[in-house]
Structure 1
């Protein structure tokens, strides 16, 4: 896709009731021009700002746009689930107890769907009650299986002598039965809102009887109808003002007649009154019957799709190909133990491919290679779905861009453990993606991705040496392992070039002989682009990040030797001293973490600039290079540390495909080991001035630099191409107790 095309067409729709936040400022749509959106500030006065489509698309790709569909409509009138404000779904800020309750409810819903799919249970209370024991048993087994979906695979690896036997596991947590009506309600909420629909709402509990008398309710309802339910579409704030004015006028008349005054409704009372009207009645009154029917039309269900990213299918496929595990290509980033865990040690083996396809355009929008189908690989593939994949196409030398991405409305998978895990369902809920699993034994319900795998097996694999074929009869005497000459980098290169340059540009029967790329460009030209933007960086961090507990001190929090701080963290220490806080840490970007304090998430940035966009494996490799140069040294200056990072990233560019597409998760256990063995006592200091003022005050004295501050020789024998200089500064907060001396 040309740059000119990208400048002329947007990648997501901004509706009249949507809120778009860019660089911390909230906007709503003013009007749409030929090649730009005119957005007006939502608060205060200000002129409209024009965002050209090309600029807006770049901001979207960088994760700097938060898009909230139908934000300005009351919640009851919204036609689809909404992303939560701030950092994504509130799942990121739940307590462990709340998450445990949600997981139990979700397990019951999964078990209910499984029993119902077998055709042995009806939707009546009596039938559900009769099968409740079976539902609870299946839910308990589901929970035990999904707390750690990689546990069974690790046990099998240990039994084969390929690793240590994992600790724990095997404890079956029994799920208590619930009333059939309650279970049906949970099933309905999951169907409509996904897993996030099961979040506790204790704050909404209490007396639900009306606070007002019959006269007060009558006047309130009458005024709301006259003010809010009109084609003028008055905002709620004006309706609140109209209600209070009507009550003041009525009270003046009652005071003159000697009658008692009416209680004036609050803003919340007016909002609850508006919610009491049916959705259809409100839409017809404010938008007209035709628009109401359009807004209430069901979307996001069924196999018929009308726009890109309305339905995305994800699945895993064991590639019929033996490849050489390219140990040398990854040696800069991993130890021997790491390579063994990832299956990248010496020898030959086969890969699993986790891939995702957009059902409207048939574009492949995500792909990850893994040695076994784990949750981490599924999450990495989903991350590619919502991210720009241009760097992979560039690394492979593709002739066409791979920049199709957005937030899917519906994600369809099979019943594999990776897609059923608590971690993956939490990720989808945080991104506000509806997750739907097909019925076991019916792969045709996700036929689009199945056909892609068949196409790859018949058109790509025959061109590659080392093919194993799908079965013994088909393979015959073909010497697959003897002919295996592709390493991991070769496989990644072949897959990306075939996907981007061949498959995306091959006429597709299901598209009327259009190519997937032509269908995508046609939809963008026709204004039929995805409804939702890609998630912003903070939402990605909450969705894909690792949940950790860290000690909050005067210096902030530390993860993998990197210190993070924020004004809110400093204030917390002043008020309550040191404490343990929960945070979300994204191994793909060490520039910031999300710290949860009292149910509120705060973005704490790295104190030392230069970690933006740096992933954990690159940082660990840089630290190893520093330690190789000086094993006993713990304090390193900023300049030396980031020079080592630059050198490692230069190597990364030469192995970008293999490094970026292979699943390489960092678990909490692995992170703890790295911090204890590699980062214990490690810290970064400010740069030492290269010159100083002499005693006589005349001129400057040049300070010599110690030779051990140059770690590059420990990283590579071949000097890497210089990278653009990183910004160097230090962000810090000085914390003092109230009343302390400066």
Structure 2
């Protein structure tokens, strides 16, 4: 049997209309909204009655919109009813038991048998024929005593519909408000509304206003969750009703890996200028079972799909090479493909690139509710430990709050560059954190990992180089005789044209991967071979694309179009490239910390420079290939004023993050 409860997101169909539950009122009614935006309010009884009468039906696809919609129910037993209702139900049950075997729906027979039973049990009040028939209709199919309880448990004096309407108006206007006005204010508003209502109906019986104590009783019966959310704020109301649900469990290593990101509480400097660049972001992946930190990624960019993918790559790969980065006394034990990755609900984690990579590696993704960090508490706690145990002890720390920082001159004392910060964090993770007893585990994370892998197989990618391709940004393009075009750059080679020659009419759509840190090549998927192959940028753009990041290219293309419109050429691109790279170098020396941090984000300053020798070599060659512009060398008359470098934080493509490309 499919069960449901009235939860947010549940959909009802009424003819061609779809009504979605969007919340509830303080009076216990359900708020609905159709696809066209029309609002509607119904009580739960009215809504379910519409389902019973087939005027509305439940959309079963919406049952999984939230795991809270589905529930397992245990029927109510007799002990949950008041004592007098229990006694009444047992009395009725005696009559039903005696009449069940030979029940006949005739008044004379019922009257005769009922009198006999009443005499036998000493019941002075003999039930009427209509009562016996009503009890029988409730009892005959289920033979359940709880069906014989008095159904008028919630009965009481019915409020006048007009008074109810005026009371609801007063509550919405006065009571459900952050000003926290009192019940006396609600009563005063209700009196005014009743008086105004009576003035508008001369000659008719005036409506009597309820007394103040009655209004207070009605206010106490309001849905407290709704009242608290309106008067105290949703977060405060949630904390007020929060309860301990138990920790998320993991039964073995890599069963559940949690990922989250935050700005580090330390200012990082640029080695060339010795000026602070700002607080970098860190993305951390932790194994829930053992609390082993599997990997991390540090960058000056705000979190994006690339941040998550780079962190996931570091988490999967073995850490044998970490000893070459910094002198370590121990080895990092953690690696392998996780079974499930728990992340928050940020836009960057819903990106197609992240979902595609996890899908290709068979990793399940769990999106935790927004604003509820307890759903991935392990990574939240370890980030706090990193801040307190490492960052707050470094020169240039900004601490976690203004009170802790006091008059500490963070910018003046900043002395740690990104490479040194990465090395410090590696050493702390491997030599200290993994070998410090964990209060919850009762042992160290390293010991818990070794204990867990004794009976579990750790899986690794058969082709590790595939991870570099998988962490690329996915695109789809049509192959032409000149290759494929991506943001004004053309990529082509013989292998790509072979794919085109296989297609009918020489037109084929291909799946490809591009990279944020290098636009000089892409990888294209060959359906027949079942693998990716590398396609370089065409010779026309070879000099321009050398050492060029995707963010820089998009910025150059944007500025070129703003200046030259559709009449730009390759020479304009090269000129703007040189000017923007000069601006980046100058911005790294800027007085404002914000400008220096923005320049660092455009220059792809991240922890991958430390982790990957190949990446470091590529970036060193990229830096050496940039044209050096002396301070005395001013832009030519054909040049133009570039202005300040705009902020291109996050992914450069709306498909991956959702920010504007600007052209």
Q: What band does the TM-score fall into relative to the shorter chain?
A: 0.3 to 0.5
* TM-score calculated relative to the size of structure 2: 0.44
* Higher RCO (CA 8 Å, separation ≥ 6 residues): 1
